[in-house]
Structure 1
Amino acid sequence: MTYSIIAHDADHGAMGVATATGSVAVGGFVTHARIGAGVIATQGAFTNWLYGEWGLKMLEDGFNAGAVRDELIRMDGGSDYRQVVVCDRWGQTAGHTGSANLGQMAHHCEDHLALAGNMLSDAAVLQVMQACYLERPELPMHERLLAALQAGEQAGGDFRGSHSASLKVLYPDQPPVDLRVDWADQDCTLALEAVYQKTRTPAFQGFLAGVPTPSEPDKRGQVSDQEVDQ
């Protein structure tokens, strides 16, 4: 049903997740992140969105990714229907793909990066996404994740087509990037990029320049009544 990528930046502390699916409103279920704790993508035949709530609490309490994964599975009698990847604050990752999920399904975990997919049109989708992300170290994390998501779609994505997408990246020293497309008739990753491009307009960038961040919680900027460019 879904293909996702999660990442951790060891140098700057950013944490992020991007996902797309053949169903509606993927961002309301799959993407979970907390700065200084970790990031989780939870999906599957019957997505257990509670993995995000429970998992982030455990990560915040100091559990590593493998321990969180193991505890989530232990707590859930329906874990055969779930798929999850977890990354902790140290960049360790862990994943689970339940046997009751459908179609081509897999997960891949390495330091600072993990991917998962089910109902994939091609087994190579995750490999293409991984390569795309790793080949772009010069880009900010949100652009790397968006590029990887689009590469996954171009490689076949969800075999039903991809209709909703979400991108969530948390930075210690800048505002979050938290965007979603709840439904697109065709390629939702292009629709997600269109939303992202709106955030790059001068008016919105001026707003972001004054938004508080974890490192500057009292930050503010110059008030403006300028509209976001159409």
Structure 2
Amino acid sequence: MTFSIVGRCAETGQLGIAISSSSIAVGARCPWLRSRVGAVATQNVTLPSLGPQILDFLEDGQQTPTSALDLALESDTWSPYRQVLAIDNEGQTASFTGKEALGLHHAVAGEQCVAGGNMLAGIEVIEQMVQAFENAHGMLADRLLAAMHAAIAAGGEAGPVHSAALKVVGDVVWPIADLRVDWAEEAPIGQLDALWQAYKPQMQDYLTRALNPTAAPSYGVPGDE
């Protein structure tokens, strides 16, 4: 039904999530990130409020990802149906998969990352995601997408995937990348990668526009000189 990877860049401190699902608009419900705090993927039978709850616990500075995840799940009557992945601003990770998780499920922690999924074609899907992230180069988004491509190459979900999302936070409070394919009959991860390749060269320009409009480049549209 869903597989994802939550990761951190040790060089920049950026936090990010890449995720794909057989369900529509996975990016609307499952990835939750907060700059310089952490990132959480809530999946399987998704309870979106778990994401903000866990981030709140991490932000107060008193909790690890494991304890923050435990605290949030304590208040969820239906926690056996959840699968949750989390990372904090230091790269510490945690994961939870309830006993009612769908199909074949698995979660693996790696260096500055944690990946997990359910309704998988095989547990090697998640193992390959972690290896691909750890071995990939480039920006955090590039490494997250490398993990997603590795998942598909290893078999992906037991059935077809239809949506995918990529979200990254950096120094500012808003996401520096927030890209989604809400529905595709085939290859949503490939379409998401194409979106990233188009957005990547412009990402810094949009940050400059927000922080110092006088230094921003012109895009050549009417009124933009």
TM-score normalised by the chain length of structure 1: 0.88
Match of residue 198 from structure 1:
198
> Kindly tell me: are residues 218 and 57 of structure 1, through their superposed partners in 2, closer, same or farther at Cα, counting changes over 3 Å?
farther
Distance 2:203 2:93 in 1: 33
Deviation at 1:199, TM superposition (A): 1.4
Matched letter for residue 37 of structure 1: V
Match of residue 155 from structure 2:
156
Match of residue 11 from structure 2:
11
Match of residue 115 from structure 1:
115
> Kindly tell me: are residues 95 and 209 of structure 1, through their superposed partners in 2, closer, same or farther at Cα, counting changes over 3 Å?
closer
> Kindly tell me: are residues 12 and 29 of structure 1, through their superposed partners in 2, closer, same or farther at Cα, counting changes over 3 Å?
same
Q: Is the 8 A contact 1:153 1:162 kept in 2?
A: no
Deviation at 1:37, TM superposition (A): 0.5
2:206 aligned to which of 179, 197, 208: 208
> Kindly tell me: are residues 26 and 109 of structure 1, through their superposed partners in 2, closer, same or farther at Cα, counting changes over 3 Å?
same
Distance 2:73 2:204 in 1: 44
Matched letter for residue 90 of structure 1: E
Match of residue 24 from structure 1:
24
Match of residue 142 from structure 1:
141
Q: Is the 8 A contact 2:177 2:203 kept in 1?
A: no
Distance 1:197 1:159 in 2: 28
Deviation at 1:225, TM superposition (A): 2.7
SS in 2 for 1:72: helix
- Give the % identical residues: 33
* 1:189 and 2:189 correspond: yes
Deviation at 1:218, TM superposition (A): 4.4
> Kindly tell me: are residues 158 and 211 of structure 1, through their superposed partners in 2, closer, same or farther at Cα, counting changes over 3 Å?
farther
Q: Any idea what the Cα deviations from partners look like across 1:50-81, whole Å, max 9, x if unmatched? A: 11111111111112101111112211110000
> Kindly tell me: are residues 16 and 209 of structure 1, through their superposed partners in 2, closer, same or farther at Cα, counting changes over 3 Å?
closer
> Kindly tell me: are residues 77 and 189 of structure 1, through their superposed partners in 2, closer, same or farther at Cα, counting changes over 3 Å?
same
Match of residue 169 from structure 1:
168
Q: Is the 8 A contact 1:175 1:211 kept in 2?
A: no
> Kindly tell me: are residues 123 and 15 of structure 1, through their superposed partners in 2, closer, same or farther at Cα, counting changes over 3 Å?
same
Distance 2:160 2:75 in 1: 32
CA RMSD of aligned residues (A): 2.1
- Higher helix residue share: 2
What is the aligned length?
A: 219
Distance 2:70 2:168 in 1: 25
> Kindly tell me: are residues 9 and 164 of structure 1, through their superposed partners in 2, closer, same or farther at Cα, counting changes over 3 Å?
same
Match of residue 217 from structure 2:
222
Deviation at 1:208, TM superposition (A): 2.7
- 1:119-138 counterparts in 2 under 5 A? 119-136=119-136, 138=137
Q: Any idea what the Cα deviations from partners look like across 1:129-156, whole Å, max 9, x if unmatched? A: 11111111x3110011011111111211
SS in 2 for 1:160: coil
Q: Any idea what the Cα deviations from partners look like across 1:174-195, whole Å, max 9, x if unmatched? A: 9711111000101210111121
Distance 2:140 2:188 in 1: 19
TM-score normalised by the chain length of structure 2: 0.90
Deviation at 1:111, TM superposition (A): 4.6
SS in 2 for 1:224: coil
SS in 1 for 2:194: helix
